[in-house]
Amino acid sequence: MRAPVARLGASVTLLLLTAAPAYASEAEGGPVNLLEPKAGLMFWTLVIFAGLLFVLSKFAFKPLFAAVEAREQALEAAIAGAQADRAAAAEALAQVKAQLEGARSEAQAIVADSRATAEKVRNDLLAQAKQQQEEMIEGARRVIDGERAAAVAALRREAVDLAIAGASRVIEQNLDSDGNRRIVDTFLASLDGAPGAR
């Protein structure tokens, strides 16, 4: 409460001091030439200036200097905060760049692993297909060999039947077909074992 009263008093004093030269010039009468030196006016101007300087130094300069100093401190604090924020942003940027580089190298590793896995799967599928192909070819060979053996056996039987039929016509009698069949089979078996036979 004391500070507002003191300020009010200082304001009234300043007003009175600044108004005093105006009252002095009105008392003399006539227009005032400010370039003409007058001792009374100079005296009152110096007294008012000294009083105003005293009042300003007592009441106005301290709050002004305090406000300016507080403003400087606030600016210094803001600059320090901005520098700290800039340093934090640079550190965060470095961390983000490091994380990005890590993610990039991890992605490259994943791509390389995927390629290696795909190549392995491809090679496995090719090997499996080749094995299945060989098994199919081997099965087809077995089937062909079985069919060939069956065809050879059928041809032998047909040849035996034809030989027996031809021989029975030549002899004009019907021989025992089981006995004749054994003779022809033995003959054909001896042909298989002979050199140059198929």
Domain boundaries, the chain: 2-115, 145-193
| Nearest CA-CA partner of 10 in 47, 51, 41, 38 | 51
Residue 130 has pLDDT above 70, yes or no: yes
Q: In whole angstroms, what separates CA 125 from the centre of its chain?
A: 33
Lowest pLDDT segment from 14-18, 57-61, 68-72, 149-153: 14-18
- pLDDT in the model for residue 18: 65
- pLDDT in the model for residue 168: 66
Give pLDDT tens digits for 67-123: 899 999 999 999 999 999 999 999 999 999 999 999 999 999 999 999 999 999 999
pTM recorded for the entire structure? 0.36
Residue 27 has pLDDT above 70, yes or no: no
- pLDDT in the model for residue 19: 61
CB atoms within 10 A of CB 164: 19
CB atoms within 10 A of CB 198: 5
| Beta carbons of 141 and 125 less than 8 angstroms apart | no
- pLDDT in the model for residue 86: 93
- pLDDT in the model for residue 190: 75
% of the chain beyond a pLDDT of 90? 34
Give pLDDT tens digits for 92-102: 999 999 999 99
Mean pLDDT of the chain: 80
Dig out the tokens for 63 from the structure.
Answer: 């709050």
